[in-house]
Amino acid sequence: MTKCYAYRGKGCCEETLEKHVVGILHCLESRWEFNGLVGKTSRLLNIDRDIIAWLIRLSAVLHDIGKASSDIQQKCREECTKFPYHFVYSARFAVSLGIKSGILQGSIESVFNNLLWSEGDRLSMNLDGLYIVVVVIPVLLHHYAGTSEKSLLRRIIESELTLEIGKPCMLSLLSIVEILRNEAPRGLKPLVDKLSDMITKGKADLSVIPGLQTFLHSYRISFAKYLAEAVIGLLNICDGIVAKQNRTARSACLE
C-alpha cells in the first residue's frame, strides 16, 4: 500500500490524509470566520495574528494524525470508514510535541487550571496557554458530539503510549509539514522542526493530558473555553466540507 488514508470505503470511494488536511488548510483560509477569529483574538490577547493563525492551522494538521497509525492503515488495505478515538492519539501527540519543542514548559496541569477551569485574566494568556487552547483541546474534542465523557476518559487510560506511523503516512505528513514550515512565524520554527523529527522517527512517544478529568467535569464559562469552542467549530466546518467533497466515488474514480 502506497497511500495514507483518511477514509476508504467500498469501490474507489477514498480520501488520502494529505488531501484531507491540505483541503482543510485551504478551507480555513477562505472562511471569513477564520480571519475574524484570528483578528479578534489577536486584539484581545495582544499576540501577533500570524502566530494565532498558524497555531489554528497546526490544529488542522494534527487533528487526524492518530489515523496515521500503522495498525489503522493496515485496515485501510481493504476498508476503513471508522477510526475510533483516533483523536485521543492525535491530542496526546500534540501535547508531546508541545513539550518536546519547548512550547509547553513547567506544570502543564497548572496551565489547564488557569485557562480552562476559571475565569482568569484573558490578557495574560501566554504562548503555552494559547497552544493548549487552540491546538490541544480542539484536536482532542473535535468529535465531542459523538463521544461521551466516560468513554473518552476510558480510552485515554487504555490507549497505547506510542504512535507508530506507517511509511506512506510518514511521507504524506512530512509533505504537509513543509506547508507549515513555509508559513511559520520565526518564533515557532522549533515547533516545526520537532514535528518533522517526531514524524521522521516513525514512532512517537505520546504524552498524558494532565487534569483532563477535572476539565471535562467543569463547564464554567471562560474566555479560553469560548476560544477553544470557536476553533473546534471552524475545524469541524472545514472538516465536514472537505470530507464531503473528497469522499465520493465519482471524484475518486476520476483521479
pLDDT digits (tens, 9 = 90+) for 104-136: 886 777 777 666 555 544 545 788 888 988 999
Output the domain CATH number for residue 213: 1.10.3210.30
pLDDT for 44:
87
Residue with more model confidence, 12 or 4 = 4
Domain count, the chain: 1
Average pLDDT, the chain: 85
Q: How do residues 239-253 score in pLDDT, each as one tens digit?
A: 999 999 988 745 444
Give the mean model confidence (pLDDT) for residues 195-215: 84
Give the mean model confidence (pLDDT) for residues 132-146: 86
Residue with more model confidence, 254 or 186 = 186
What is the pTM assigned to this prediction? 0.88
Q: 202, 170 in Cβ contact below 8 A?
A: yes
pLDDT for 213:
67
Buried b (16+ CB within 10 A) or exposed e, 166-195: bebbbebbeebbeebeeebeeebeebbebb
Domain of residue 163: give its range. Answer: 5-254
Cβ-based neighbours of 127, under 8 Å, separated by 6 or more: 47, 51, 103, 187
Cell 518536546 maps to which residue? 100
pLDDT for 154:
75
pLDDT for 91:
92
